Structure 1
């Protein structure tokens, strides 16, 4: 097994020698006598752990720690501060910057050796868990992709033959039974399509287009496709557009349709009475203008602890086996992936008075030469 690498950063050669002798020959050692030198070495070849002196000329230990923790490529390197400062506020400052431990001077070789050993063991286990998690995630995606396509292959002729028989069968009882078969098969096909969509959005090469289209007719069409579901449950389906919205936008129309259908459909599913509303407004920010879609319902609501969890795969707010709203819990996970692919974000809030609000914020791009809605 490759030996782990420990970097010692200290402007005092005597301290470097003492720390190095404390660790013996158990690790590969790298040395730096300044924060700038250490940063250059770390970016060239990341160590497994850093023993970092606090007081150094130029870039001190606190500054180096802040730089490393602010970089995604180095933020996971464990840092142990080595310092003669033993005031509580000094220790708190280092820990708040992201250090995992402190060793105080005068240096005790036994303490240095024990703490380095313990933290490197923890890092080894953490790296192993991350590796296993990544492997499991890849296996899950491959399994979903394979099983989804294998399930869809026999389902297509089942639906085709059922439809064919329904068009020719005259016996009412047989037609009723065949209709139940057809509905069940279509439901299964929807689940399979969700699995395939999840795998596709996680795969390499997934991207969003940016083409112009008029906004109001598009939104009317999206809700029009869901009107039958709303009417069947006796629900009001409402669309509200704020003043000042553009007449047209540039976006991926297919992805946006899928996204809104997912979120509004989810609201309809969990609402027994009242309304589901889609509201749209323009939100100006310092970075870029944004569109804010809000889907409001009068449904069962979401517990505070589940507001983020509902966007995970195979998750519903009510996770019990006997829950009254069956499903795999993939819809909002797909919605999250689409939103991120389009450069936006999605979140949930409780609705005052009961129900839920799902908000989707997306970049707003307006085609050149087109006006603004009144």
Structure 2
């Protein structure tokens, strides 16, 4: 295997490791580090680390601690440029230098002005060989929330739509129709577990009365914050969302006044509120995403409502599309899907396709 092929293979392993804590590292990105050295003529992983739950410690010191003295003269594979700024702990770039790392292979560059390029500069100044940009695009997919928050000052948005074979997403009378099967629904729960926030409109909350939790065995504690767009506070106190607000966080974005009695009633259930501006009865989405970013939240998974989906699309706020197409058709007075596989806007490119049971999942990213 060539040196370039080996670097790509080990970086791919690091990127997979980084996914373990995706959505669980607070305002910090989930980053992975592998420490690799040659033993008896073969490369061996002697240390590994991934950003801890909550965001600390970072991946590099964990991997170095596991490697111990074997880190001296070894190669470090990092999915994001090592941090260069002093906080409560020394910068990760300096930790790599102190450990005697001889070479660093990095994927994505950190856009944080306290780090960008400076982490690499610290390494090179110490005589460490640095290879940048190895599988950068692949690493950036997992880091998309963090990168969007840093570069655009807003949360990254994934829009999920389940579309019937005839291009519908539901019935106008509110009766629920199964568009996709159980295997696809489990995939959606897995995507929820990777997100900071799951968002729906209040119409969907009223019609479907969803839980919006991750119900995969072993991942129940990875349910994201549930956020409802509710301009006038119409969410019923009898809803599942309100009933479980003390178990799984429920946030409500609203333009209702502070003295609206509904605020006190929902607050008593455990709901929290994000004050939002409204125009023509629609909440200001760009400002909402900025508010979420200011709270250290990086990823929003938009699940519910044709109107909500269309609003995010119309304002150019969708970064990733997950389109589930089922075999069933919805007849009668049905709601047209804002997007189908045949009408994907030119601003998006297909990045992956998969089949789950009889359903197809296509994933697109903004170009």
| TM-score, normalised relative to structure 1 | 0.21
Please identify which structure carries the higher helix content.
1
Which structure has the greater CA radius of gyration? 1
* TM-score of the aligned structures, taking structure 2 as reference length: 0.22
